Amino acid sequence: MGDLVYFKRRPRWWLLRVAPWPAVVLLIAVAMICILGTDGPPPPGINQVLRSFFFGQQPEPAANQPSNSNAIVGRASVIDGDTIDIHGTRIRLHAIDAPESRQVCFVQKKETRCGQRAAFALADKIGASPVSCEPKDQDRYGRMLAVCRLGGEDLNAWMVAQGWALAYRRYSRAYVEHERQASIAKVGMWEGKFVPPWDWRRGGRSVTD
């Protein structure tokens, strides 16, 4: 009789003595999986982890996860200070406005072709290196609006910071601080006097000293 009692009690003492917590966790995990079932995409959190472990289900990507799969990458031809061409796709740099090709500015009361200088600055910056452009929208002329990068550097921001473009507040305030720093440093167009490109396109040509 003593042996029989000992035999009945042994598994209970063995379970407590060896590893109670892993056994409890395993039982809870199995119970949760049985309740939740295995159909459909796994929910986030612990349920997703459990299903991945027991059933080999891979987690699905988060909704609205940003992707650069639609980025346009290649060698760029500079059209003007805020427009480039990659493989025949005309791309307008988003949220900035550079002087037009024929636009002039005044430095020490002398005319300088700031539109041309802006284009040269962008072309010199890019050189023959590949550029990657992330589409944001499309303008009324059918051009792609994009943030373009050279080796990870934001070219839109660089043009504004160098004083060869202005922050296009009408569409975004992303580069307002870059413009402020350029005006303080008096670089690019800020070295002298100029008409904002959007006013110049509407016929504005006078510069107030």
pTM for the whole structure: 0.67
Q: What are the pLDDT digits (tens) for 76-119?
A: 999 999 999 999 999 999 999 999 999 999 988 899 999 999 99
Rounded Cα distance between 24 and 7, Å, is: 23
Q: What are the pLDDT digits (tens) for 170-199?
A: 999 999 999 999 999 999 999 999 999 999
Q: Residue 33 — pLDDT band, cuts 50, 70, 90? A: low
* Active-site hit among 92, 117, 149, 179: 92
* Active-site hit among 51, 100, 149, 179: 100
Q: Let me know if 60 is a catalytic residue.
A: no
CB atoms within 10 A of CB 19: 12
Ordered structural domains, the chain, with CATH: 2-55 (no CATH), 72-201 (2.40.50.90)
* Active-site hit among 75, 90, 113, 143: 143
**Pairwise pLDDT comparison (106 vs 19), residue with the higher score:** 106
Q: Let me know if 179 is a catalytic residue.
A: no
Q: Let me know if 113 is a catalytic residue.
A: no
